[in-house]
Amino acid sequence: MLTQERHRSILHILDDKDAVTVTELAQLTDTSESTIRRDLVYLDKQGKLRKVFGGAVTLRQIEGITEKEITERQSVMSDEKDMIAKYAASLITDDDFVYIDSGTTTLRLAEYIGSTKAVFLTNGLLHAQKLISKGLRAYILGGKIKAKNACVAGAEGVNSLAKFNFTKAFIGANGIELSSGYTTPGNEEAIVKEKAIEKSFTAFILADHSKFRRIFPVTFAPISRCSIITDKLTYSGLADRTSVKEASL
């Protein structure tokens, strides 16, 4: 069996089973286990599946609809978030009207913004508090408050965004995958992200490398619509689809 045919067979088998072992794939494709392992490494790098110990699972099986509260997530990938936030803050100029999305990396961004005449609007309660504590000119989005994520979300938030036009938007994402785009667990948060991106001249996704090749239930933008600021690029092919800045460089 040719390599491309074998790859198609592996993906077809995985699509039916959702999870499969190296031994099963070797038997079903009449191929050695060592070859299958190499195939899985390659397909994982291409964002077609997720390689796990002893086999592989479909990307759609990786993530669910729940996430930890924002206060629990702040310490995860802390150094990486700092690098991303510092670089993002350096892009803000006095003439900007900036949208800052809720999330832990964007909260770090609010911490690193220096003295500026820029105007800010955010849907994050903690973000708004941080901005005004620094004496910055800031507004908070109106609408339903989601206590778990300390943010405004849902249809009312979308309606509140309709009249604004931003020069820059800094958006958080839970997952980034070539075929599924930028994703997040909840629809109420997703529709606010989508509208903010629509109303922005330039939109940046702030995401550390652990978000790559992950898919959550709701897509809020295709890969090409936003630029990405990350700590390091570990996802082959992503830079071919959009602008990616590695803050560590």
pLDDT, tens only, 81-93: 999 999 999 999 9
Residue 74: which of 157, 172, 152 has the closest Cα?
172
What number is the average pLDDT over the span 126-139? 97
Q: Which residue matches tokens 């800045």? A: 245
**Looking at the predicted structure, is the pLDDT value of residue 62 above 60?**
no
| Amino acid present at 86 | K
Q: What was the pLDDT predicted at 45?
A: 82
**Looking at the predicted structure, is the pLDDT value of residue 69 above 70?**
no
Is-contact 243 228, C-beta < 8 A?
Answer: yes
Q: What was the pLDDT predicted at 2?
A: 82
Q: What was the pLDDT predicted at 210?
A: 87
CATH architecture of 70-246: 3-Layer(aba) Sandwich (3.40)
Query: What is the pLDDT of the chain when averaged over all its residues?
Result: 90
Q: What was the pLDDT predicted at 50?
A: 81
Q: What was the pLDDT predicted at 61?
A: 53
Q: Output the six-digit token pair for 203.
A: 């939109």
- How many other C-beta atoms are found inside a 10 Å radius of the C-beta of residue 158? 19
Q: What was the pLDDT predicted at 176?
A: 93
The DSSP secondary-structure symbol of 137 reads E
CB burial string 67-87: b at 16+ within 10 A, e below = beebeebbeebeebbbbbbeb
**Looking at the predicted structure, is the pLDDT value of residue 18 above 60?**
yes
pLDDT in tens, 152-197: 999 999 999 999 999 999 999 999 988 889 999 989 999 999 999 9
H-assigned helices in the chain: 3-17, 22-29, 33-45, 70-73, 78-90, 104-112, 125-133, 155-161, 187-198
pTM for this entry: 0.77
Q: What was the pLDDT predicted at 100?
A: 98
Please tell me if the domain spanning 3-61 has the same topology as the one spanning 70-246.
no
Topology, domain 3-61: Arc Repressor Mutant, subunit A (1.10.10)
* Sign, Cα dihedral of 71, 244, 209, 195: positive
The Cα-based distances of 69 to 57, 149, 184 in angstroms read 27, 6, 14
The whole-angstrom separation of Cα 58 and Cα 200 is 33
pLDDT in tens, 137-162: 999 999 999 888 899 999 999 999 99
Give the side-chain half-sphere CA count within 13 A for 239: 10
Domain coordinates of the chain in residue numbers? Answer: 3-61, 70-246
**Looking at the predicted structure, is the pLDDT value of residue 230 above 70?**
yes
- Give the pLDDT band of residue 64 (cuts 50, 70, 90): low
